[in-house]
Amino acid sequence: MAAESKNLKPSATLKKLIDRTSKVDPASFVPADQVDRFLRGEVTLKDLNGISGPEMLEMAVLGYEMYKQGKYNEARVIFQGLASLDPREPYFATALGSVYLAEEKLEDAEQCLNVALRLNPDDLGAHVNRGEVFLRRGKLVEAAEDFRRVLELDPQQRDPLTARARVLAMAAFEAIKEAKAELEKKKAP
């Protein structure tokens, strides 16, 4: 076996990898103390990579534009990246949940919106979208709770999301009425 390994030649891919890694500037490495802080959850990938707030905002604006244009795959990729870079920013989780909702990936949407609401329990958009996810998944009580919370957070109904929550709440109420009527029918002799 040892004699055979002397005859092996590295593949072209391995040669490229060796070539690239031999040219890496050690100054570009993340200091060990920063890696330790990342592992303890004290800093984010955004911090490690030195990405500025304006750069993150620029990427978020691009993601939102992709979403508005119906380019959900592109928007999803952008918001997945942003959420990975800064998992403490609730907007990225809300936006990613919104993309999943538009793609009808309701379980993924619910998970993202749950994260967003853990980070910011007063996020109107996350409550409205999660309420819609619950409504579509037949979780009518949970949907009604999210819509009620939106109305509590915006009693003057200044945010357009509140109007959307009100419409969805009425749909949830109608679904509950229909389910109740079905149960009554089944109970009747």
CATH number of the domain encompassing residue 66: 1.25.40.10
Structure tokens at 11: 């593949």
Of the two residues 59 and 47, the one the predictor is more confident about is 59
**What is the C-alpha separation between 141 and 131, in angstroms, rounded?**
9
The residue ranking higher by pLDDT, 3 or 129, is 129
Assess whether pLDDT exceeds 50 at residue 5. no
Instruction: Find the domain containing 184 and state its range.
Output: 121-189
Q: What is the pLDDT of residue 147?
A: 92
pTM of the predicted model, to two decimals? 0.71
Please, what is the angle between helix 90-102 and helix 106-119, to 10°? 160
| Together in a domain, 131 and 112 | no
In a domain, 14, yes or no: no
> 32-36, 122-126, 182-186 — which is least confidently predicted?
32-36
Highest mean pLDDT among 10-14, 48-52, 84-88, 95-99: 95-99
State the Cα–Cα distance between residues 24 and 18, nearest whole angstrom: 10
CA atoms of 50 and 104, how far apart (whole Å): 34
**Do 38 and 52 reside in the same domain of the chain?**
yes
> Which one-letter amino acid corresponds to residue 25?
D
User: Is residue 172 domain-resident?
Assistant: yes
User: Can you tell me the distance from the alpha carbon of 159 to that of 154, in angstroms, rounded to the nearest whole number?
Assistant: 7
47: CB partners within 8 A, 6+ apart: 34, 38
- The rounded distance, in Å, linking the Cα atoms of 40 and 144 is 38
| pLDDT over 70, % of the chain | 73
Domain limit, last residue, from 120, 141, 172 = 120
CA angle 111, 117, 123 (to 5 degrees): 130
Q: Which two tokens stand for residue 43?
A: 């800093």
Confidence category of residue 68, pLDDT binned at 50, 70, 90: very high
- The answer to whether residue 150 is domain-embedded is yes
Predicted pLDDT at 169: 86
Domain count, the chain: 2
